Chain A
Amino acid sequence: MTPAELVARHLDGIATPEERAELDRLLASDPAVADLFAKASRRDQALASLHQEERAARKFRAAVPRRRAWIAAAAILLLGLLYLLLPRESVLHGPQVLRWDGGATTITLRDGAEAVVLDDDPKILELRAGELEADVAPQKEPMVLRTPQAEAVVLGTKFTLSTTRLEVTEGRVKLTRSSDGAAVEVAAGQVARAESMKAVAVEVDRFLDLRRSIHDPRNGYFSADGVPYHSVETLIVDAPDHGHLTTSETFSYWLWLEAAYGRISGDWAPFRKAWAKMEEVAIPSPADQPALEAYDPGKPMTAMAEKERIEDYPVGPDGSATGVDPLATRELHVMHWLIDADNVYGFGRRGNRSARNGLVNTFQRGPDESVWETIPHPSWDDFQQGGPNGYVDLFVKSEARQWRYVCAPDADARAIQAAWWAKAWAKPGTELPWREALRMGDSLRYALQDKRFRGEHGLIGWAFGWGGSLDPKNSWAWRSGAGQAHFGYQNPMAAWALAKDSPAWARSLDRQLALYADLQSPEGAIAGGYSIDGTTLSFEPHPVFRDPPSNEWFGWQAWSMDRLAQYLHTSGDVRARPIVEKWAAWAKKVVRLRPDGGYAIPAALVWSGRSVRAEGETQDVGVAAATARALAHWAAAGKDVEARELAKGLLERIWRLHRDARGVSNPELLTSYRRFLEKVQVPDGWRGPIRPGATFTDLRPWFRRDPDWKTVEEALRRGEPPRMRYHRFWAQVEVAVANAEFARLFSP
């Protein structure tokens, strides 16, 4: 028999007296055998410790009476100390799986979890930190799971428990709070937290959880002035070219968040606060738009030429005739689209160069101008900065000091839509800014006008502008309507909300419904939009911009069709039904819950005329949530169980795969980031501070100091697109509100 075999038999307790004598002799004479013995003995003990962790508690209690009296007498204090550290206290650490009932009952401790099994029969387990998942077979005596804050009593069910939160998947669990004995029954699909002791739908819990993350100052969603940023991360180039700029879109999403919160909590103060902040920051005040008294509705503007190529700017007047502005409201009560919350550009506001929340702009030069080719400039162009003529002569042939703002009407329409829902959800008599929303709706009628006021087309146009002189000796002001319409901007819900008070919006509602019917592809998706001349519409597969093609993004489908589905469900207007039904049938084909637990949204839509093909896959959290919301509204209107399950699955998977410490985010490959070093077109002979050959990044030197610059630079050096994670404000809200809306529709 080998020494190793002797050791093993001894440790297994089956060595005969002869074998033990032999081993004793070998140990005394051969250090190598002693080494082998020590090693095997240590491994044996490690296996015993590993296995006994769960059972240690009971064993210790059984051992107490056997302990000799003199020990206790000798050092009672020390025993108190040791009591805390002896095996009874052997804390189990996740990740690991505990099994009972022949494997029928399992408790999975997640990574970071700490638990102690206090008893096996009945089963009592204490969760001290982290989270566990339980699948409990029917029990004779209830199983008890304790946390420092509460106790869950279980007879047979599936659920997830953390120290503060219980989520039940199957069956029912009774949760009792330790501090005051408050109790709540939690049913399948519900969540309860120790702090509130209310059982709510899991989607409502996700909404509240994500809203807490958004408002947690450590996460950085808001500026010191309480203005929501476009994204937490600063190095980002979307339509805004910096994360700490903000947009009218961001404000409108904030309003959505607080409207949903008001419905769930009954607290409308956050909604009022968001509306007030939007008015303060994003809507140009009377001081931001001087010289309005000089505005002549009979001659609203001097029409400027519109060129295709960036090189053809600055442009001059094209001499074409303009119509009469039939609206002639005084100050415009709509948002300017782009705001420099942290004063990154240093333009300031109204000539005060150190002021934050300045109104700024980028896009000015036709459909080919991508964000990478834009030149940032102040909307208040008083010639303190830029060249001798400020920035104005980069874009138009003019030497006049002036201000000019641009409204992106989909954001204002979204704000109105949120205000309408707030009014619908709040108790009668609640103080809400609905009159302010109506005022915004009045101003937003400029979006329904032809760019040069040659008719009312009634669609929500892409953009309209207004401006005026900053020279007191030469006062003038101008306004424009909107010359292009993208289906993605249409908002029949907002039009319907305003229609009772406004014939123009009642007409717009009909025009929008006609647009969807006309642009719906044979597959079900909605094709681009129109360029507009007076009231004549010409189909455009990619209206407004072509770099990238404007109807490539699946998000437009989700955004716009959610509004139409919401309108169908809320108003019951049968005209919307076949359009939404056909769209949903297509969406169910191109949006997939993957067998591996993931999901896939089309990365791009490729159009040929009005026919579409979905290409590639993305997990973009914002677009996926918007899709879930659109499907949920359709599912509620059309009783479509398949659409509801797809929406539910998307929301579950977004949460499981992409919830992180700050909110929700998915990794993105930014192929467009190779353009960081691309040159920006500056007109020949322009006398300003931008040197010839300047790149996108030269114009924005702060990017080279950004903490994320290294990631971008290194990826570009390797010739790869950088992989980034972003927490865009709108996407956070989209996920939160999609969950809140799902719960409103399906678990009221």
Chain B
Amino acid sequence: MDRHAEFLKLFLANQGDLKAFLASVLSDRAAVEDLFQETSLVLWQKYAEYDPARSFGAWARGIASNKILQDREKTRRLPLAFSPTSIRAILEAFDRGEAEPRDPGPLRDCVGRLPERSRRLLALRYEQSLKLGEIARQVGSTLDAVHKTLSRVREALEACLRRKAAAE
């Protein structure tokens, strides 16, 4: 496999997980997109330095978190959600944990089994990326009620995924 193809393969496999990390430490979605693209460029430029024995995901997170912490020390452009200590803790937790499976099939199935009302709520939150306040306005409810319902829907999804995993 040539270098481009190799990079593409690894990058495609890990891009979702990289975004998850960025979204958990930055408090603004546009910033997540911008930093994701900047990081992608750096990953490509530095790909020669990547050690295939290491996890690509961990390497990518390392580069992204360096950027974040550098920014913190210098320009402070990035809207960080937490203190540098907590960001390091989150980084370590990501390295310890397991990335979401590449096959979204089970999650898709579980979403498909939800009642229509729950699926509508998920679509507003994750497809249209609306803030909870906007969702509350649209469905004629309160912020807290929407959050509670969403939490219950996510719990139902977790339970469904556990059942699926157990069935295998």
Contacts and interface: CB of A to CB of B under 8 A. Distances in A.
Given A48-B129, A49-B16, A38 B81 contact: no
B37 A52 contact: no
A10 B81 contact: yes
Contact of A41 (B20, B45, B144, B157): B20
Interface of B is mostly: helix
Interface string B79-116: 00111011001101110110110001001100100000
Interface stretch (B48-56, B66-74, B147-155): B147-155
A24 B83 contact: yes
Given A12-B132, A45-B16, A52 B126 contact: yes
A42 interface: yes
Given A24-B86, A28-B83, A43 B41 contact: no
Interface string B130-142: 0110000000000
Contacts of B122: 47, 51
Interface residues of B, number: 56
A35 B94 CA distance: 7
B147 A14 contact: yes
B126 A85 contact: no
A280 to B, nearest CB: 53
Contacts of A44: 20, 23
A74 interface: yes
Contact of A28 (B11, B41, B89, B144): B89
Interface in A1-60: 5, 8-14, 20, 23-24, 27-28, 31, 34-35, 37-39, 41-52, 54-55
Contacts of B76: none
Contact of B97 (A38, A49, A55): A38
Contacts of A23: 82
A43 B19 CA distance: 11
A78 interface: yes
Interface in A78-133: 78, 81-82, 85-86, 96
Given A13-B131, A14-B132, A43-B100, A38 B90 contact: yes
Contacts of A96: 108
B72 to A, nearest CB: 14
A75 interface: yes
Interface of A is mostly: helix
A224 B129 CA distance: 62
Interface residues of A, number: 46
A97 to B, nearest CB: 8
Contacts of B111: 47, 50
Contacts of A31: 89, 92-93, 96
A12 B131 CA distance: 8
A82 B44 CA distance: 10
A71 interface: yes
Given A41-B24, A46-B104, A49-B104, A85 B8 contact: yes
Nearest to A26: B86
B107 A47 contact: yes
Contact of A20 (B21, B81, B93): B81
Contacts of B128: 55
Contact of B127 (A10, A27, A51, A68): A51
A82 B45 CA distance: 12
B20 A42 contact: yes
Given A14-B143, A31-B89, A42 B97 contact: yes
Interface string B14-50: 0111011101100000100110011011001100000
A51 B97 contact: no
Contacts of B159: none
A23 B90 CA distance: 12
Nearest to A46: B100
Interface of A: 5, 8-14, 20, 23-24, 27-28, 31, 34-35, 37-39, 41-52, 54-55, 63, 66-68, 71, 74-75, 78, 81-82, 85-86, 96
